[in-house]
């Protein structure tokens, strides 16, 4: 049985487009940075960059991510963007392959749609931890579910990547920890769908990420400590909800708090209090107020439990709807500029020449598309889960949809309740929902009832049993292979 000229031409064309995509997609994934002329910066970028140089811990600024950025300084941080772009495409491709949906056209089409319609390329183009938040959901899922469909090298890579992502931001670590906890609770009901070995490996990434962070903190500051700041951020959210003012009014007549003289002058938002020119600076910032803020946070939880619960639920709901791209990147960010000027003077000229630093970055037009896509994608996840529940079907794609839904809810709870709702926290996660919905759509309009790779693998196995391993693995050739074996057997008998 021979392969026709048309088939050879089709294979050659497929190879050409695959090679073209291999070159073009990594560049398109960081196209916003190329357009900008420099990696995108954000309000928080400077705090991470300074960790190598300042030698002390700063609230909510991971030293692990700071070291990651430091090693890209000599290359203008383009190596960091290259890592982020390639890691993104690797995890998209690996997810499709593990779920049996990998086809060259499908991979390229989904990647292009994500680049065009979500925050993904902006996250990959930015010097910020946010790109790793969404990617870590995919890597954790693949560690648990894809154990039998990935190589040893891929397992090791997924483990290291997930641990690193957990170490870059406490909220990311919290979401991953919550997913692992839910996985262990669901294991008795789902059985082999959640392998114990996979759950154990995923859980160990949380431990490894924690050790990575504490070790980096010690290496840079000399202290065996966790990154500070959680209490202060939670205090800011409670102040924004009016809980702190009520607490001070109730307690200041009897107790002496540093904030008592300022109880009628508290800023309206947590950002103004923590990062603006407020009494927080006057009273010594985190060093001067951390103990007092911790006391107020704990006691107010006991004093106003119903108020706290209602505020937490509202914050979580609002966070789910805060999904706009670009928060903190299209405003004046003097701290980040100052850190680069002080510690990395070689980067000042290209940084100052970028469009972003010349007020050329406006996300309003981008969000006309991104926000509707994000909100529709979350509804699509619910529709996908509802369809699976109605048909009593739990395949790997449905399991991924459930994982992403839980991740979005966990992220909304952690970020909304502790920090207060911000678009940045939603945008860095919601693109994963779009990815899952696109996979479901492409599967539904595919030619085959089975996922491509699963069908091919099954067909190839049948062909191999027939002793014709060089045949193209599709059903027509399997039938042909069986017929040939039948005729051969007849000839032997003759």
pLDDT digits (tens, 9 = 90+) for 299-353: 999 999 999 999 999 999 999 999 999 999 988 899 999 999 999 999 999 999 9
State both tokens at 342: 């002080």
Q: How far is residue 186's CA from residue 320's CA, in Å, rounded to a whole number?
A: 24
Residue with token string 């979005």: 408
Asked if 135 and 165 count as a contact pair (C-beta separation under 8 A), the reply is yes
Q: What percent of the chain has pLDDT over 70?
A: 88
Least confident of 115-119, 181-185, 312-316, 478-482: 478-482
CA distances (Å), origin 15, targets 4, 10, 95, 106, 416: 17, 9, 21, 14, 46
Q: How far is residue 357's CA from residue 379's CA, in Å, rounded to a whole number?
A: 36
Q: What is the pLDDT of residues 16-68, one digit of tens each?
A: 767 778 889 999 999 999 999 999 999 999 999 999 999 999 988 999 999 99
Choose between 42 and 270: higher pLDDT.
Answer: 42
Q: What number is the average pLDDT over the span 1-23?
A: 70
If you average pLDDT over every residue of the chain, what do you get?
Answer: 88
Element (H, E) at 476: helix 475-493
* Highest mean pLDDT (candidates 267-271, 332-336, 437-441, 471-475): 437-441
- Exposed / middle / buried, residue 307 (Cβ in 10 Å: 0-12, 13-18, 19+): middle
pLDDT attached to residue 271: 84
Q: What is the pLDDT of residues 101-114, one digit of tens each?
A: 999 889 999 999 99
Q: What number is the average pLDDT over the span 421-439?
A: 97
Evaluate the CA torsion angle 61, 63, 64, 67 in order and state its sign. Answer: positive
pLDDT attached to residue 7: 67
Q: How many CA atoms lie within 13 A of 56 on its CB side?
A: 3
Q: What is the pLDDT of residues 122-179, one digit of tens each?
A: 999 999 999 999 999 999 999 999 988 999 999 999 999 999 999 999 999 999 999 9
Q: Which of 465, 486, 425, 400 is nearest to 144 (CA)?
A: 400
- The structure's pTM equals 0.87
Asked if 380 and 397 count as a contact pair (C-beta separation under 8 A), the reply is no
pLDDT attached to residue 8: 67
Q: How far is residue 176's CA from residue 208's CA, in Å, rounded to a whole number?
A: 12
């Amino acid at each position: 049985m021979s392969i026709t000229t048309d088939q050879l031409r089709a294979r050659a064309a497929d190879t050409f487009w695959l090679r073209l995509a291999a070159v073009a997609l990594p560049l398109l994934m960081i196209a916003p940075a190329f357009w900008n002329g420099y990696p995108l910066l954000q309000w928080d970028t400077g705090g991470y960059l300074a960790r190598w140089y300042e030698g002390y811990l700063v609230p909510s600024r991971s030293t692990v991510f700071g070291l990651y950025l430091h090693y890209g300084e000599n290359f203008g941080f383009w190596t960091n963007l290259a890592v982020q772009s390639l890691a993104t495409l690797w995890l998209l491709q690996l997810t499709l392959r593990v779920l049996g949906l990998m086809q060259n056209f499908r991979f390229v089409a989904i990647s292009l749609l994500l680049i065009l319609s979500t925050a993904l390329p902006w996250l990959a183009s930015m010097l910020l931890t946010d790109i790793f938040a969404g990617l870590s959901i995919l890597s954790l899922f693949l560690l648990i579910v894809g154990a039998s469909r990935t190589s040893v090298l891929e397992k090791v890579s997924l483990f290291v990547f997930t641990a690193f992502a957990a170490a870059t931001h406490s909220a990311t670590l919290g979401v991953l920890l919550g997913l692992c906890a839910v996985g262990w609770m669901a294991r008795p009901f789902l059985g082999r769908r959640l392998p114990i070995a996979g759950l154990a490996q995923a859980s160990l990434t949380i431990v490894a990420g924690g050790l990575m962070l504490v070790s980096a903190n010690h290496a840079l500051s000399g202290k065996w400590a966790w990154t500070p700041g959680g209490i202060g951020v939670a205090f800011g959210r409670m102040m924004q909800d009016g809980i702190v003012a009520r607490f001070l009014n109730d307690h200041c007549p009897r107790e002496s708090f540093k904030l008592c003289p300022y109880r009628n002058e508290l800023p309206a938002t947590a950002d103004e209090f923590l990062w603006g020119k407020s009494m927080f600076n006057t009273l010594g910032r985190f060093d001067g107020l951390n103990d007092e803020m911790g006391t107020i946070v704990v006691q107010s939880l006991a004093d106003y439990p119903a108020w706290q619960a209602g505020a937490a639920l509202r914050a979580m709901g609002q966070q789910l709807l805060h999904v706009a791209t670009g928060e903190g990147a299209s405003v004046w960010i003097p701290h980040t500029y100052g850190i680069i000027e002080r510690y990395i003077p070689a980067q000042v000229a290209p940084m100052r020449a970028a469009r972003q630093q010349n007020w050329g970055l406006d996300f309003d037009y981008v969000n006309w598309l991104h926000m509707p896509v994000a909100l529709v994608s979350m509804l699509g996840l619910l529709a996908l889960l509802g369809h699976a529940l109605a048909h009593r079907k739990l395949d790997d794609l449905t399991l991924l949809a459930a994982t992403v839904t839980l991740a979005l809810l966990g992220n909304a709870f952690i970020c909304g309740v502790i920090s207060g709702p911000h678009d940045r926290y939603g945008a860095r996660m919601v693109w994963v929902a779009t990815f899952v919905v696109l996979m479901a759509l492409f599967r539904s309009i595919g030619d085959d009832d089975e996922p491509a790779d699963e069908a091919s693998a099954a067909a190839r196995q049948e062909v191999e049993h027939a002793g014709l391993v060089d045949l193209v693995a599709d059903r027509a050739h399997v039938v042909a292979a069986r017929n040939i074996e039948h005729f051969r057997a007849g000839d032997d008998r003759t």
